[in-house]
Structure 1
Amino acid sequence: MKKWTLVIAVSMMLANEAQAAVNNPAFNRYMLALTVCVIYVLFCFWIFRRHRRTAAGKQVVHGDQHGDAWLIGYASQGGYARELALKTAQSMQEAGVAVRCMALSEIDVKRLEQARHALFVVSTTGEGDAPDNAHHFMQSVMPSVSGLSQLQYGLLALGDSSYANFCGFGHQLDHWLQHMHALPLFDMVQVDAGDDGALRHWQYQLGQLAGSSEMPDWQPAQYQSWHLIMRQHLNPGSAGAPVYQLALRPENPDIQWQAGDIAEIGPRNPAHEVRDFLARMELPINAMLDGKPLADDLAERLLPHEPHDIAVLRSLSPRELLQQLRPLPHREYSIASLSGDGQLELLVRQASYADGRLGLGSGWLTTYAEVGATVALRIRENVAFHPPPVDLPLILIGNGTGIAGLRAHLKVREASSQAANWLLFGERNAAYDFHFEDEIKAWQAAGVLTRVDAVFSRDQPERQYVQHILARHPDIVSEWVRQGAAIYVCGSASGMAPEVHAVLLEILGENVLAQCALDGRYRRDVY
């Protein structure tokens, strides 16, 4: 307000001076021009200061008064890791999460041992070496840390697979963090030469951590066209949210995928929400822009729903409106089938907002996209969850719709039949939520599954989950691992995955579990 007062006062003064010189046309023109210039400069100065104040509110926070802030540390040689760390910080802040972003060289022992949540973005130089700004951290901080059992972390590792030690420093940091008893929130995300798919997966995980389902993608996916050919509601009557099995077929029949790969979905807003938005914007339903229905573009944009946000946008032209609205972010789903099945199958639990609206991705797939409709979909190769060698025993652990990713691995094992397989699965009610029950029982009868342990939390007075079943069989778990078994976990990152990780640590010990991870025998697809 003070700056507006200054602008108005100076403007009035200059205007009065100009008016006083009205009998001198040349001087009058000069003063009027000067008045306009001064007003413009002052206005720009006010805008600049206002922007600085706004930006300052969005900068990373510093100081111990923000003990709940997420620590974002980066190790960068050429600047790319730093750029991604800053983007990470901005995305988390826009979702309402306080962050502190700094180079590893700025992180001391006290700060690290006090942190409860951390995200690391690190690159690798040469043949697996750490960047220069990580040397102090490695030489002074890492040897001095006594333990990090209070820390939960995520790790984005940048590298180039043409080098022998791909993401070498990322692996080194991940191994050390786990050795210090820090808990990984999800498996390390490896980025091969700036792969957009891996970066979108990192952003997806950020959205999960921040509780923000509308966090925008940094780089939109290049989708292919698929057709929704089947949709079946699997759990009518369940105490949980509806779960649907879907099948899709690509227009390009040459698209291939493996067990463990991820389907990235480009969702769309339903027609009724687009119509409601147009009405609230006081725009006609059939409004056009550049010869195309405006509704088509709005179907692919994040639409505001709060009255204040609508009022702010109402004065914009259709073109300006589209420029203001962000594209819809992608959604990720574990693939439940193999390429040889002739169709891509998903298991999708229907999510909803507090106001009753269905989730962007789950609503589109389970309700709004009609069977036969075109769906934008991209396969993301997920090497970190590809099948282990067929001659190794396999322990599969999952809950809820996580059975989808495990089902694809069981299909691989059915084709090979060279080693034992053990499935541990948890859901709500056996009567409604035992997804793929007939297949699982058939695999057990045929010997594909050596052992099945299923638990349903609502079927007994004291709720039991898959981690509790795992903890009941420490000797069997240890024996399977001694025989070389791989452990694959798929499902919820917020509850099941960390609890399973803690049980495995207790059963196997830190050294054995860390070695399993290094050998690729402990892998997770959690969300």
Structure 2
Amino acid sequence: MPDTDRMLAALTVLLAWLAFSAVIAWRAWRRAQAQRRAAEGTGGPAEYLVVHASQTGFAEQLAARTAEALRSGGLAVRAARIDALTGSHLGNGNRVLFLASTAGEGDAPDDAAVFIRKVMANAADLSSLRYGLLALGDSSYANYCAFGRRLDAWLRERGATPLFPVVEVDDGDAAALRQWEAHLGHLAGRALAPAWRPPRHEAWRLAERRLLNPGSPGAPAFHIALTPPAALPDWQAGDIAEVMPRNAPHAVRAMLAVLDLDPALPVHAEDGTTLAEVLAARRLPEDVADVAGLPAQALVEALPKLPHRDYSIASLPADGTLQLLVREMRHPDGRLGLGSGWLTAHAAAGGTVDLRIRRNAGFHPPPDGRPMILIGNGTGLAGLRAHLKAREAAGHRRNWLIFGERTRAADYFHRDEVEAWVASGLLDRLDLAFSRDQAGRVYVQHLLASAGDTVRGWVGDGAAVYVCGSQAGMATAVHAALAAILDEDGLAALLEAGRYRRDVY
């Protein structure tokens, strides 16, 4: 064979081998990509870990959308609750995106307790960690975004490097959430589909508004029932009704009269077509002089939208209506609170209330028939009532309700129903604390403390403890009573096991 032919033959073999090697390398790369993407759901390595600390489900919802947006940009992502996070997740050059709510007056969400105790208490070296943080809060509270800020300070102290400045979100502010989306797009290296869109609230009909406590020494409390515009949606005990309130019609009319503007003037806005309709959903100025002289459209654009208000759902879909327990709240000057005023006074009977149901997995029922201790006060009975209805439907009958209000005569909400549950055996035990019915005030925490041995017995049998009601006073005192009964480590273990859950406000 001539030398030229030998060279051509060798070149042909070489090219074939290179082509074969390229195919093998390409297939290996595809397998690696598939394995990396599979790791998103298996706890394996991921480019980004999206972590949520949520009290009422909003941070969890945003975390799911954040993960989805990053995946759409081609990134490998794994999502986790903050109580599943360990120190090892924060090392090894990982990138973590935190979405952290603040509960009440600056408290961490309940699901962050384990992380605070086991991870933040340690002086870990996080110099290899890069992180982003979305802090959710409400500026009407003094300690705005307190847990998010605390988490950010701790991460920086431990040497972690922020991927971008902390994004603080005031009561679901859309502009701040768009800023978060822009940061996600930068991480992915391209514009992403929006991770968050303003939630869609439907117009539910106010079917019933009934005063529950005539003659009470406390503020009026109402049973509210609403029906949807179409088929009744599904929800679970523990879920939340997110209500978009409206200003009192007389307040809108009074302001427009002072400004000498016609309520029927047409304007451009997504929450109405006339000036009066739009202003019903906007935050009215404290001093009308601040907006005097503005034309109608400019007035609309100058006033922010009203924030939503959350309420524990007191019923199940099988009841045929979405039910709430709402107490009138008043400002120091006597004005009704925004959400309670709308639901208890200003919304017309038979009229509409804009509402959506928000999933709140942190207060969903136990996955089995274990015993339940349900503790609450006032309108906190709403969330407990839904759980008892769910227990009745599932045939789980070992339940203990500890409930407190002011007087038995006026404030025993849904008395016939509760006593029927005792008679049927759904409630194995019922303890009631009516604080004003004796000289010395008696509250639910006192009843709990006096039944310490029984509480320990139920917990030893695997009971879950659910608390619903006011954070100030009741929930704080109940937590202290449980810590005294079970000791701090015992209560921490209960929380860590998901057997101590709270829906407090």
Normalising by the smaller structure, the TM-score range is: 0.5 to 0.7
| Cα distance in structure 2, aligned partners of 1:194 and 1:385 | 24
| Cα distance in structure 1, aligned partners of 2:267 and 2:493 | 58
| Cα distance in structure 1, aligned partners of 2:364 and 2:399 | 16
Q: Which residue identity does 2:200 align to in structure 1?
A: Q
1:421 maps to 399
| Cα distance in structure 2, aligned partners of 1:131 and 1:277 | 57
Question: Aligned to 1:458, what secondary structure does the other structure show?
Answer: coil
- Assess, with a 3 A threshold, how the Cα gap between structure 1 residues 179 and 311 changes in structure 2: closer, same or farther: same
The answer to whether the aligner puts 1:430 opposite 2:408 as a matched pair is yes
Q: 1:470-519: CA deviations, max 9, x gaps?
A: 11111000000000000000000111111100110010012221111111
Cα shift at 1:225: 2.0
Question: Aligned to 1:357, what secondary structure does the other structure show?
Answer: coil
Farther-moved stretch of structure 1 (412-421 vs 433-442)? 412-421
| Cα distance in structure 2, aligned partners of 1:395 and 1:177 | 29
| Cα distance in structure 1, aligned partners of 2:471 and 2:120 | 17
| Cα distance in structure 2, aligned partners of 1:269 and 1:481 | 46
Q: Indicate conservation of the 8 Å contact 2:282/2:305, yes or no.
A: yes
Q: Indicate conservation of the 8 Å contact 1:262/1:332, yes or no.
A: yes
| Cα distance in structure 1, aligned partners of 2:300 and 2:50 | 30
Question: Aligned to 2:90, what secondary structure does the other structure show?
Answer: coil
Q: For 1:316-395, what aligned pairs fall within 5 Å after superposition?
A: 316-395=294-373
2:108 maps to 155
2:222 maps to 244
2:137 maps to 203
| Cα distance in structure 1, aligned partners of 2:246 and 2:261 | 20
Farther-moved stretch of structure 1 (324-333 vs 276-285)? 276-285
**Structure with greater contact order relative to length (CA < 8 Å, sep ≥ 6):** 2
Q: Which residue identity does 2:463 align to in structure 1?
A: A
Q: Which residue identity does 2:137 align to in structure 1?
A: Q
| Cα distance in structure 2, aligned partners of 1:389 and 1:134 | 33
Q: Indicate conservation of the 8 Å contact 1:238/1:433, yes or no.
A: yes
1:217 maps to 172
Q: 1:30-65: CA deviations, max 9, x gaps?
A: xxxxxxxxxxxxxxxxxxxxxxxxxxxxxxxxxxxx
| Cα distance in structure 2, aligned partners of 1:172 and 1:482 | 21
Question: Aligned to 2:107, what secondary structure does the other structure show?
Answer: strand
2:275 maps to 294
Q: For 1:124-139, what aligned pairs fall within 5 Å after superposition?
A: 129-130=89-90
Which structure 2 segments of 5+ residues have no match?
1-46, 55-80, 96-104, 123-131, 146-169, 175-197
- Assess, with a 3 A threshold, how the Cα gap between structure 1 residues 442 and 279 changes in structure 2: closer, same or farther: same
Question: Aligned to 2:311, what secondary structure does the other structure show?
Answer: strand
The answer to whether the aligner puts 1:174 opposite 2:77 as a matched pair is no
Q: Which residue identity does 2:220 align to in structure 1?
A: P
| Cα distance in structure 1, aligned partners of 2:116 and 2:285 | 39
| Cα distance in structure 2, aligned partners of 1:216 and 1:400 | 25
TM-score of the two chains, using structure 1 as the length reference: 0.63
Q: For 1:48-59, what aligned pairs fall within 5 Å after superposition?
A: none
| Cα distance in structure 2, aligned partners of 1:418 and 1:216 | 37
- Assess, with a 3 A threshold, how the Cα gap between structure 1 residues 258 and 218 changes in structure 2: closer, same or farther: same
Cα shift at 1:341: 1.1
1:283 maps to 261
Cα shift at 1:176: 3.3
Q: Indicate conservation of the 8 Å contact 1:216/1:328, yes or no.
A: no
Give % identity. Answer: 46
Cα shift at 1:217: 3.2
| Cα distance in structure 2, aligned partners of 1:299 and 1:216 | 19
TM-score of the two chains, using structure 2 as the length reference: 0.66
Q: Indicate conservation of the 8 Å contact 1:123/1:130, yes or no.
A: no
Q: Which residue identity does 1:507 align to in structure 2?
A: I
- Assess, with a 3 A threshold, how the Cα gap between structure 1 residues 128 and 520 changes in structure 2: closer, same or farther: farther
Cα shift at 1:289: 2.3
Cα shift at 1:132: 8.2
| Cα distance in structure 1, aligned partners of 2:142 and 2:374 | 24
- Assess, with a 3 A threshold, how the Cα gap between structure 1 residues 332 and 177 changes in structure 2: closer, same or farther: farther
1:3 maps to none
Q: Which residue identity does 2:474 align to in structure 1?
A: M
Q: Indicate conservation of the 8 Å contact 1:265/1:332, yes or no.
A: yes
Q: Which residue identity does 2:494 align to in structure 1?
A: C
